[in-house]
Structures are given as structure tokens and as C-alpha cells.
A and B are shown apart, each in its own frame.
Chain A
């Protein structure tokens, strides 16, 4: 049988992903997370009187901490499956990838497992995050040198 015919048959049988439903759920999940994050910033800034940049950092730390705890108890997986990209794209997804990989590493011990496997998925976020920060720093410094007001 020709490959084209096979590919046509596969295409005809393709299972449709529920894009609209998934998008709405992601919007809802991501939006709710945004509201929670903003409330945390307000809490740290207005109530607990932290500085603005400290409040932002504390918010991220809180989100990462809660996500890691939820991952540890198997709750995050259930929520993450429902809201998809709404939770996967923000810091929650990063924290989950880190913790889940780390948990998985426990069978191989603390050094070769938990420690080194923690960054198996999250490693590229950190690597490219830092790399591009350096690149942008260099660009901005060059622009400032030539008198561009950033």
C-alpha cells in the first residue's frame, strides 16, 4: 500500500483535540492563578509592608513553594491535567517540572536521583533564562553607551 493512502486513512481517523474547551479552561486556570498572584503581591506590599520588588520575589517563591507541596501530595497532577497550559506556562509549571522530576529520582538515591534529575525538565528554563538575560544585558549596555535612553 502506498504511504500517501495510509497517511490519508490516518488523517480521516484523527481524534480531534478539544481546542476550544482546553483554551477556555487554560484561560480560567491561568486567570485565577494571576488573581491569586496579584493578591499575594498586595498582601506582601500593602499589609506586610515589604518593598515592591521584594513583594514580587516573595510572590514567586510562595507560588513555587505551594506548587511543590501540591506536587508532592499528588494534588497538582490532577489540577494540572484540567487547566493545561493555564498552569503549565506560569511559574507553577516550572515548579511542578522541578519537583516531579526530583520525586521520580528518589529511587536512584539523593545524588544521582533527587539532585541531578531535578533539573532534567526545568534545566532548559534556567539555562535559557540566564543566557538570554546576559545577552539582553550586553545589548542594553551597548545602547546606553551610545546614549540611547532605555
Chain B
């Protein structure tokens, strides 16, 4: 059983995105609110830089909504560092109730759905939801030292540096949260941490398919289906999985393919990945398109590989998950 939760009075009243330099140079750089010149954001470590980006993203989102700390009931969010320490350090300054979530690269949608539940149930009036990742801290966490000079696989992805924050409220606004599907952890007997897109494609397929069934909708009912970080290879796998099932999807895009320009930007490999990939593209570019009335119904699908460095070293299978959120522009 895979559950879709329907929401009647949840709106996104503001959003803000903060990134590193590489994302700013990318094709969607203009939609990012603030970009630092280095991924450490002027601090002494990648982890501190990440928490600085989270702090700024939340501050900007609150400024845009004209809300002060006292008016925020709850903050929900996470990142990719060990024990999501960067997130905890960031929210320390806000002195507000905090729930840390971990869903690897699906964290943005996991925290969005959780936040929506608090608003829908009227337990909270304003909830900040964020997700963050950082090239430096994530590479250290999951891969090799940054100066390690080996050839990367063609399927490897590049962790996006940045943070996206949104504020959910029951006050009506242009972007309404219609429903959210919490994915299930799948096992596709995958062990290759150098190609996570192909693995996560299955989780995305499973969640999207069940979301459509639960919502009694077809892919055409959406103007855009946006996946988080399947990258080049994973996106093809996702579309082929649907083809095999007899469903053709024509309106799919992947944030991992959009955030960087593979032709002009160096060392991008198969595309972007990380929690910030979907939060930067979704909360920046996609929200802009919705507000500009270019698109109305959007399905955001966050995908994540839930392995750790230890489980990968022990050659355990990589558990995968995807969460989907249906957003609609309302007048």
C-alpha cells in the first residue's frame, strides 16, 4: 500500500533559493535568489558553508512572506551530512521548533509533505520547509577526497550546492499543495553507487504510478512532471519503465538535467544530484513558471538512495525511495 495524502488548505506563500557558484553559472542561474562565490560561503568548512546557505534561504523566505521568527511555528528540513548536522546548526539561530528529516536526495519533498500535514491539520499556521546539499560536504560524506585524481564514471553525478526553503501556510496564495504521496523503500538489488539515477528511476516509477492511481489522474493531467536527480541515464530508464507499462510520458523533465549545462560547464558528468537539485530548480524556476501562468499542475518527485558509506562498503543493496507532491496554481 502506498499512500497519497490530500490537502485542502495548504499553500506555499513564499520561497527562496541560495546556491554556490556553479549553479549560478548554470542555465537556471537567474532564478536563484542569492549565490555565493564559493561552496564554503566564506566560512572555514564545507559543513559550516552549508548551514550558512540554509540560514540565508530560510531568512529570505521569511522576509519575502513578511514573517518574523515568532510567527513560524515549526521548521522541517534536512541535508546530506552525517546526522544532518548542517541543518541542526542552521536552525540553532532561529530558536523555533525543529524536525530534522532525512530522505537523501528526496528530502525536499519529504519535508514538504510533512510540513503540509501540520498545516492541513491546523496544528501549525506557518511552517518552513527546507532541503540542502553541498558539493564539498556530500563528496566527503559519500565519495572520495576532493583532490583525489581518478577518472569518474560517465554515469556519476555532481552534487548541487545550495539550499531551497519554502513557507507553507493556510493563507491562500498562488501555489496550492494538492496532495503528496509518501513513497515506499524499494529494493532493485542495486549495488553501484556510481550510477544512482538508474536505481532511483524505479522508485520514481513506483511512486508516480501509484500517485496517478490514487489520484485517478493520467500523466497528461499534469503540465509538467519534474523528477529530482535521475540525471541523463535515470531519466531514460524512467520513461522506458512507463513505456513498458503502456504509459507514454511526454511532459517529464529532470532537475538534474536542467541545473547545469553539460556542454559548457566542466565536470558535470551525468548531471546534478543532491537535495538541493530539486529544491533549487523546483522552488526557483518551476515556481516562477507557475506564477507566470505558463504551467498550472506540476508533480514534483524527489528521489533518493538511502545508503550510507558503511552500507556501500559492506556491499549491501542500496534502498531507494521517491516522494511526489502535486502543486497547482490557483487564482
Contact = CB atoms under 8 A, between A and B. Distances in A.
13 contacts: A3-B188, A9-B240, A13-B198, A14-B233, A15-B270, A74-B147, A76-B147, A79-B149, A88-B149, A100-B146, A103-B145, A104-B140, A107-B47
B241 interface: yes
B236 interface: yes
A35 interface: no
Nearest to B199: A10
B155 A15 contact: yes
Nearest to B232: A15
- B-side interface mostly: loop
Contacts of A15: 154-155, 232-233, 270
A55 interface: no
Interface in A27-79: 71-72, 74, 76-79
Nearest to A88: B150
A12 B270 contact: no
The 10 closest A-B pairs by CB, nearest first: A80-B149, A100-B147, A84-B151, A100-B145, A104-B145, A107-B45, A77-B149, A100-B148, A15-B154, A13-B236
Nearest to B154: A15
Contacts of B245: 1
Interface on chain A toward B: helix, strand, loop, or mixed SS?
Answer: helix
B149 A81 contact: yes
Interface residues of A, number: 38
Interface of B: 44-47, 140, 144-155, 188-189, 198, 201-202, 205, 232-233, 236-237, 240-241, 244-245, 267, 270
Nearest to A96: B149
Contacts of B147: 71-72, 74, 76-77, 96, 99-100, 103-104
Contact of A81 (B150, B232, B236): B150
A5 B244 contact: yes
Contact of B237 (A9, A78, A85, A103): A9
Given A3-B188, A10-B198, A107-B45, A17 B148 contact: no
